[in-house]
Amino acid sequence: MTATEARPEAGQRKAPQIVEMSWDPITRIIGNLGIYTKIDFANREVTECHSTSSLFRGYSVFMKGKDPRDAGFITSRICGICGDNHTTCSDYAQQMAYGIKPPPLAEHIVNLGEAAEYMFDHTIFQDNMVFVDFCEAMVRATNPGVLARAERTAAPRGHIHGHRTIADIMRAFNPFEGAVYKEALQVSRITREMFCLMEGRHVHPSTLYPGGVGTMPSPTAFTDYLSRLLRVTDFIKTSVAMNDDVFDFFYEALPGYEEVGRRRILLGCWGAWQNPDVCDYRYETMDQWGRAMYVTPGIVVDGELVTNSLVDINLGMRILLGSSFYEDWTNEEPFVRHDPLGNPVDMRHPWNQTTLPEPQKRDFAGNYSWVMSPRWYHAASGQHLALDTGGGPLARLWSTALNGLVDTPYIKATGHSVRISLPRSERLPEMTLEWQIPRWSNTLERDRARPYFVAYAAAMAFDFLDRAMGRVRAGDTRIFTDFEVPDEAIGCGFHEAVRGVLSHHLVIKDKKIANYHPYPPTPWNASPRDGFGTPGPYEDAVQGQPVFEENGPEDFKGVDIMRTVRSFDPCLPCGVHMYLGNGKVLQTRHSPVYGETHG
């Protein structure tokens, strides 16, 4: 059963004019993602889409036999973009396995580092990559009629961001020359400095460990972080206003644009930022401390909150092979039969997965990707749901809003929205922003959510600073809890990488890693069709969407398709792996110490 909702027919259909088009590699990300489509230019819609990944790496293979204490340092190298998210999540899994809890101040430092990472990554992606698809130069090339209207349309929030028309905002995002494009690069530099103050090195942290941190909790470090946070707060406030103006304009200028990238509301969020007053990392209490996170975990199906239980989320995970280049492992002996609460663990759960690569020729009628098909088993319906992350922010905000549990001096979840309060900054007054649950899970709403979550991260950073400085003033400067590696244990960590759900599952035997599986957001979003025929989220969102670009097949840019794929914040390093099987030696070379030409 597919996840796709039937899209409404619009008037009398014409005889199809099908053209096959592909974008491989997708630009502005690492070059392993390909999108292959069939487009009906007569009826202006995408009729078919396949998402492919062309590289295999295999962290789950070479993690076996390693010292589990090294897992955070190794898995951070999965990605050169969000490696710190992997380190953090790995530490969470290890802390469960070792039965330890870091001191509260260490948790606040980790939370501050992760908040800075969200601000850094979302800003550079939204303003320097996503908005290239909405900038004046791109709109002129693909929808000149829309640009003409943008020149005549006043920007409703110009009193906040300072731009007179929608076209002025679009010009500000022109690559390399637009004012906002260039300012975003500066903001990314500042937020990266904030990250390094807490986690030591970007993007592979040098001061995060299971049990705590190595960051010295000096008042100077927190003050330096705060001064930088205040420097970027004006930009964050104006960014939300500019994005709202542009995305509202697209809905008005192109009736029906809500269908671009729209798919059934199937959102997953694993939660972010631990609350040290509640979190003890015990699996037996995981539901309680999961609900106490400052981003609330949840699975949202058709707009309804299905569960916010991390135990349910964990047990429902299934890794299906579908159309991927792997052999099945389900006839092997399981690593974990029951979780610590006695619940049975499925053979397709990450705790029990074995990665068995099977390289082969790409075949869209068969197997065509190195990405597997993670799914969440919905027991009530008996379906394996192809959850997506909404690019990260959409699922985080939607789940947090519906749960209505987060209530801090800066963030309030209301059940239908999230209110974000930012203090007075250099130019703009104190401001309360409110993200409302939208009508659709589509391209524009994924992109709209991103600047709101930058504001959310900034607001929580102010809160974490207050809590950290309170600990220091009270004389509680402990930042590490000692531990021993057990002979046998299991652990799981749940976190939000920048672009969405992140989990690490660990099995220890004889003090070594017996099995280890990280599942970041891109395998969920970029997954191919599974064994039930369900397309992955990229495929589902693109397939069936209308085409609004004014160009014909000869000079077609595919801007609506690119906007949709990029709205998920694609990042393929974590979706692909490395194959170390038998190969052909092309050249063997030895270079002496002083160089091969010396002497």
Return binding residues for Mg(2+): 577
- Among 48, 28, 32, CA closest to 40: 48
Count the Cβ atoms, other than its own, within 10 Å of residue 312.
17
**CA 173 – CA 523 distance, rounded (Å):** 30
Contact residues for 216 (Cβ-Cβ < 8 A; gap 6+): none
- Rounded to the nearest 5°, which phi and psi values hold at 4? -75, 135
Contact residues for 428 (Cβ-Cβ < 8 A; gap 6+): 160, 233, 234, 237, 238
Query: Annotated binding site for Fe cation: which residue ranges?
Result: 82, 574
Residue 401 and residue 413 in contact, taking contact as beta carbons nearer than 8 Å: yes
- For residues 457, 458, 463 and 468, what is the CA-based torsion angle, rounded to 10 degrees? 90
**CA 546 – CA 254 distance, rounded (Å):** 11
Q: Order across the sheet with 317-320: list the strands.
A: 317-320, 373-378, 383-385
Contact residues for 429 (Cβ-Cβ < 8 A; gap 6+): none
Contact residues for 211 (Cβ-Cβ < 8 A; gap 6+): 91, 95, 98, 100, 102, 480, 481, 482, 483
**DSSP 3-state assignment of 278?**
coil
Query: Annotated binding site for Ni(2+): which residue ranges?
Result: 79, 82, 571
Whole-number Cα distances in Å, 31 to 22, 100, 120, 347: 14, 40, 22, 33
Residue 271 and residue 292 in contact, taking contact as beta carbons nearer than 8 Å: no
Tell whether the torsion through CA atoms of 557, 563, 568 and 570 is positive or negative. Answer: positive
**CA 182 – CA 396 distance, rounded (Å):** 28
Please, what is the angle between helix 443-473 and helix 104-128, to 10°? Answer: 150
Q: Please list the helix, strand and coil fractions of the chain in percent, rounded to the nearest 5, in that order.
A: 40, 20, 45
Is residue 173 exposed (0-12), middle (13-18) or buried (19+ Cβ within 10 Å)?
A: buried
Query: Annotated binding site: which residue ranges?
Result: 79, 82, 571, 574, 577
- Rounded to the nearest 5°, which phi and psi values hold at 328? -75, 155
**CA 396 – CA 591 distance, rounded (Å):** 52
**DSSP 3-state assignment of 142?**
helix
User: Amino acid identity of 56?
Assistant: F
Q: Please, what is the Cα angle at 547 between 542 and 549, to 5 degrees?
A: 125
**CA 11 – CA 546 distance, rounded (Å):** 13
- Rounded to the nearest 5°, which phi and psi values hold at 327? -90, 155
